[in-house]
Amino acid sequence: MPDRTRPIRKEICLNEQELSMVRHKMNQLGTRNFGAYAQKMLIDGYIIKVDYTEQKKLAAAASTIASRVSGRLSLFVRIISQRGQKRVAQLRTPLADLTENRHSSRITPDQRGCDEKSISN
């Protein structure tokens, strides 16, 4: 090799899709020299590195809050369910008494002076 001003050689491997993308970008810039394009992009190009630490902290906090709310909600539902069952049990006794009184105080057709056929029609 003749004396070069840049003696260090670097190679890259691309698949067909990546090569197509590189060629498309080279066409947009109007260059055909891959070495010049690669050198320019490697030296002057920029890399975007996104720092997601704040978003991760927020997601963790939201997850913690959701977990606590879920736990509190299940506790609340359990308490309400227990209280509801107790209240239902408390109401059944008076209801049973009312039902018994209603059935025992029912007037029969004979007491009304009617026959059963006229009632069923």
The answer to whether residue 36 scores a pLDDT higher than 70 is yes
Of 100 and 36, the one with more pLDDT: 36
The confidence score (pLDDT) of residue 49 equals 75
* pLDDT over 70 at 22, yes or no: yes
Radius of gyration, alpha carbons of the chain: 43
Average pLDDT over all residues of the chain: 80
pLDDT in tens, 57-79: 999 999 999 998 888 888 888 88
Structure tokens at 96: 């049973």
